[in-house]
Amino acid sequence: MTSKLYDIRKVPFQTADGLTLDVTNIRGAKPPTKSPVLLVHGAGVRGNIFNAPVETTVIDALLAEGFDVWLENWRASIDFRLHDWTLDQAAFFDHPEAVKTVLHETGAQTIKAIIHCQGSTSFTMSALAGLVPQVETIVSNAVSLHPIVPRWSRVKLRLAVPVLARLMRSMNPGWGDDTPAGLPRLLGWLTKAAHHECDNTACQLVSFTYGAGRPALWEHENLNDETHDTFIQAEFGHVPLSFFRHIRACEAAGHLISLETYGTLPEDYAAAPPKTDARWVFFAGEENKCFLPDSQQASFEWFDGHAPGKHALHWLPGYSHLDVFMGKNAATDVFPKMIAALG
């Protein structure tokens, strides 16, 4: 967690299917003067991914503006034991309960959310299904309703994932140079043979696991040395193949669909108007090689079609996927746009 002098309070919550997850409140020297903001991490990381070793994190920037900052650790968090989770489960069980917990703890009637990658796809499912009506503004990074991936990622999703899913339960870029014997070590060797962009095995394994670029989730020049050399390996962990099966199905459909049946979750999330009044502000790194920026363009156009002029889209030149939050210059290039979006 952050090394800065913040007051940090973890609040566990229970999901209806029996998991204990948590939200973490971060307070600065001054009490908040603005709305709670819930930050939702992506797959195979945790809430601390928003706390890269840079001079000003998105947490710092939000606190400086008076927001009440909450980090959600949903079932994909590496703080918890490995689960064979799907986006449906996160959408139905985790995010609605996290939102309710923040409302209960703060006494607020509404909150805002900053959602990233698979935290964004699954939170988008919650919102479109009408399960988080208390969220009035949603800032989404990288991907939301329309997962569009590079051609090589599509090949991996359609050909490699079904094979790997029979042989292993999860991938873990946090293995670094200590990949377990057997198939993981073979994948580690293959990854090192294919990736010569740097000497950091964790960075290479992230690219193998999540995208098609070298590297896939950031532009190297956007990261400082500590983030690249230390933070990546510390903050990336297990991600189950069950998740990749779900995103493969969504990618093939062109938009989010359900893999399982839970309560009122729709089979097809693009088939009906959104059951949320939230204003959406989409962010897309132009260099993103995990989910192409066309993903957020398509989602913005879908939402704009349902409420013309209400929502917004920001393309970020020179940025990729996670450097939007971890980048050494994100405090000047990105966070002011996000804070303006939150209002």
Residues lying near Zn ion in the complex (CB under 5 A) are found at 198, 200, 203
Give dist(CA 20, CA 126) in Å, integer: 19
Residue (62 or 203) nearer to Zn ion, CB: 203
Q: Which of 106, 132, 97 is nearest to 22 (CA)?
A: 97
Residue (198 or 259) nearer to Zn ion, CB: 198
Residue (94 or 323) nearer to Zn ion, CB: 323
Q: What are phi and psi of 312, to 5 degrees?
A: -140, 160
Question: E-strand spans in the chain?
Answer: 7-14, 20-27, 36-40, 68-73, 111-116, 135-141, 170-171, 239-240, 279-285, 312-316
Pairing verdict, β 68-73 and 135-141: unpaired
Output the smallest distance, CB 218 to Zn ion, in A: 8
Output the smallest distance, CB 206 to Zn ion, in A: 8
| Contact call for residues 271 and 115 (beta carbons, < 8 A) | no
Other C-beta atoms lying within 10 Å of the C-beta of residue 32: 19
Residue (215 or 274) nearer to Zn ion, CB: 215
Output the smallest distance, CB 223 to Zn ion, in A: 8
Output the smallest distance, CB 143 to Zn ion, in A: 22
Residue (200 or 295) nearer to Zn ion, CB: 200
Residue (195 or 311) nearer to Zn ion, CB: 195
Give dist(CA 113, CA 102) in Å, integer: 11
Output the smallest distance, CB 232 to Zn ion, in A: 7
| Contact call for residues 318 and 222 (beta carbons, < 8 A) | yes
Q: Which of 42, 40, 78, 79 is nearest to 210 (CA)?
A: 42
Output the smallest distance, CB 169 to Zn ion, in A: 26
Residue (25 or 204) nearer to Zn ion, CB: 204
In Å, what is the CA distance from 46 to each residue of 24, 204, 219, 237, 330?
11, 19, 21, 9, 19
Three-state SS for 198? coil
Output the smallest distance, CB 197 to Zn ion, in A: 6
